Amino acid sequence: MLNDPMVLTPIAAAAVPVEPEKRIRDRGATEKAILNAAKSLLAEEGFQNFGINAVARRAGCDKQLIYRYYGGLNGLVEAIGADLGTWVKDRIPEDTGGMFLLTYGDLMERLSLLFLEALRDDPLVLRIVAWEVSENTEQVRRLSEARSKALANWLERMRGSLTPPKGVDAVAVNAILFAAIQHIVLSASAAEQCAGLALKTSKDWEKAATALKRIVRGVYG
Amino acid sequence: MLNDPMVLTPIAAAAVPVEPEKRIRDRGATEKAILNAAKSLLAEEGFQNFGINAVARRAGCDKQLIYRYYGGLNGLVEAIGADLGTWVKDRIPEDTGGMFLLTYGDLMERLSLLFLEALRDDPLVLRIVAWEVSENTEQVRRLSEARSKALANWLERMRGSLTPPKGVDAVAVNAILFAAIQHIVLSASAAEQCAGLALKTSKDWEKAATALKRIVRGVYG
DNA sequence: GTTGCTACTCACCGGGGAGTGACAAAACGG
DNA sequence: CCGTTTTGTCACTCCCCGGTGAGTAGCAAC
């Protein structure tokens, strides 16, 4: 009643006979295309418009394939999360550039700034952070866990034999420090400012970095 | 074809003749009901499921009234934002309890903790903060502005004649401090932890507060 | 060939969202 | 009393979502 394919299809097919743009049959490539589509979609649009349909559209394939290859959105998100385990390591130089890190304060100052930089130019992870504080589903919880575990691990490995000053709860302080960094970058990406502090130009960011250093030095000396 | 009201309606009407539960006609009350519904919905469910239909459902009225009285969701959000201007003032004691705040450090320590507390038990504002870092629409931007303006104002008023230590960019440092607080509370509400720091029991929170104090004292002395 | 597997597409379903126009009924003004 | 305005309700359209079942196109072995 509404649509009669037997009438419509031949006409359409005749009107647009070419423009095949045939997707070559390659499961591996398609899977990658889907994963990349998902990542870039998440990075560019955020979790708000993140859905099966949108990913399929961007990947240029049918959503059915997402169900088949990843078992739906959940599986796809999990696949994204898998990369997260190595994010910090990949993003941040393992050796801190031959610097002499004599004290725990030296270390944390350096790591804070590195983390800030890394977050600043990884929109995907940034969106995930935003997601983590906005939703509390199994999906997101897994992402969150993967990320925080990797982070803790990384911190531990970088620490080496350095120890924080006596009487300072380093876990708590570091959590606050990293929370601050995440929120600053989040705010900046959403509104180009945070609590009255402009975060647009590189000059703005220098100010933020200086303040951050000061804070770190304040606690850790 | 699908539904024939002429057949169905009389039957239904006859079957359920009573149960009037008549909404009394009172525009003011209805407006308030809508606004409260919107606020509580936002506070409890977050911005994700925040929409005309949901608000109307919760308010127990027709969504048409939201369009009529508030001009749609935008207007409604703006009405919510209007309260935000006075949030800090309402939530936090004007006089800091007869305390002796001798230094800028004293002040900021106190304000930080107060802010933390205030955020912790105001789910609505917390959700708005999450919204601010997740979306960048005109709607949210207005909320954000109202809030940050009020915050800056409040800080300024509380500061009085106290001045930060020389050489410290108080604006930047405070932005980072408040960012940290916001993110900690956000994280806690979403995952009961932040960067490996548990944030569930009051003991956990004491640890966080102690660390925060240390940080503040570190920069401001 | 034709049989069978794999990669892929299509058309459709139910559901819920935003938004709108027409209507019912109470309240008000004369 | 009657007409108008205000207040509230209903029914409907359009759109997009997630999900699924049925079908198509390439490809390889027999």
Over pLDDT 90: what percentage of chain B? 75
Of A172, A190, A207, nearest to B133 by CB-CB distance is A190
Residue labelled with tokens 């800080």? B155
How far from each other are the two terminal CA atoms of chain B, in whole angstroms? 77
Nearest residue (CA) to C1' of D7: B25
Please answer whether residues A185 and A119 qualify as being in contact, where contact means their C-beta atoms are separated by less than 8 angstroms: yes
Q: Which residues touch strand C (CB under 7 A)?
A: A 3, 5, 9, 23-27, 29-30, 61-62, 64-65, 68; B 22, 24-25, 49, 51-54, 63-64, 67, 72-73
Could you tell me how many CB contacts below 8 A there are between chain A and chain B?
165
Residues of B in contact with A207 (CB under 8 A): 169, 172
User: Chain A, 77-116: which have a CB under 8 Å from a chain B CB?
Assistant: none
Of A48, A186, A196, nearest to B175 by CB-CB distance is A196
- pLDDT score at A24: 81
Q: What is the mean pLDDT of the segment spanning A58-64? A: 97
Phi-psi group of A131: left, alpha or beta (phi > 0 → left; psi -120 to 50 → alpha; rest → beta): alpha
Residues of B in contact with A113 (CB under 8 A): none
Rounded Cα distance between A39 and A163, Å, is 38
- pLDDT score at B60: 97
Over pLDDT 90: what percentage of chain A? 75
- pLDDT score at B93: 81
Give, in words, the CATH class of B24-80: mainly alpha
Which positions of chain C lie under 7 Å from any protein Cβ? 6-12, 16-22, 26-27
Q: Per residue in A122-133, pLDDT tens?
A: 999 999 999 999
- pLDDT score at A2: 35
- pLDDT score at B133: 98
Over pLDDT 70: what percentage of chain B? 88
pLDDT surpasses 50 at A18: no
Taking CA atoms, A126 is separated from A187, B116, B187, in Å, by 10, 23, 14
Of A168, A194, A219, nearest to B179 by CB-CB distance is A194
Please answer whether residues A180 and B180 qualify as being in contact, where contact means their C-beta atoms are separated by less than 8 angstroms: yes
- pLDDT score at B97: 60
Of A134, A195, A214, nearest to B179 by CB-CB distance is A195
Closest-CA distance of chain A to residue B220, Å: 8
Q: Per residue in B97-116, pLDDT tens?
A: 666 778 999 999 999 999 99
Pull the structure tokens for residue B75. Answer: 């207007």
Residues of A in contact with B136 (CB under 8 A): 190-191
In Å, what is the separation between the CA of B8 and the C1' of C20? 24
Q: Per residue in B168-213, pLDDT tens?
A: 999 999 999 999 999 999 999 999 999 999 999 999 999 999 999 9
Q: Which of A46, A116, A59 is nearest to B134 (CA)?
A: A46
Domain boundaries, chain A: 5-81, 87-220
Q: Which residues contact A33 (CB under 8 A, 6 or more apart)?
A: A59, A60, A61
- pLDDT score at A17: 40
> For chain A, how are helix, strand and coil distributed in percent, rounded to 5?
70, 0, 25
User: Chain B, 179-198: which have a CB under 8 Å from a chain A CB?
Assistant: 179-180, 182-184, 186-187, 189-191, 193-197
- The gap from C-alpha B181 to its chain's centroid, in whole angstroms, comes to 14
Q: How many residues does chain B have?
A: 221
Window from A96-110, B91-105, B122-136 with minimum mean pLDDT: B91-105
Q: Do B172 and A208 touch (CB under 8 A)?
A: yes
DSSP states along B47-67: GGG-SHHHHHHHHTS-HHHHH
Q: Do B176 and A187 touch (CB under 8 A)?
A: no
Q: Which residues touch strand D (CB under 7 A)?
A: A 22, 25, 49, 51-54, 63-64, 67, 72-73; B 3, 5, 9, 23-27, 29-30, 61-62, 64-65, 68
Taking CA atoms, what residue in B is nearest to A156? Answer: B196
Q: Is the CB of A176 inside 8 Å of chain B's CB atoms?
A: yes
Query: Under CATH, which number does the domain A5-81 receive?
Result: 1.10.357.10
Pull the structure tokens for residue A186. Answer: 């989040």
Q: Do B130 and A132 touch (CB under 8 A)?
A: no
Residues of A in contact with B116 (CB under 8 A): none
Q: How confident is the model at residue A90 (pLDDT cuts 50, 70, 90)?
A: confident
Residues of B in contact with A173 (CB under 8 A): 211, 214-215
- Nucleotide of closest approach to A69 (CA, C1'): C7
Of B47, B148, B184, nearest to A176 by CB-CB distance is B184
Please answer whether residues A152 and B196 qualify as being in contact, where contact means their C-beta atoms are separated by less than 8 angstroms: yes
Ranges of beta strands (E only) in chain B are 193-194, 197-198
- pLDDT score at A92: 84
Pull the structure tokens for residue B64. Answer: 């048409």
Pull the structure tokens for residue A83. Answer: 């990369």
Higher local confidence (pLDDT), B92 or B61: B61
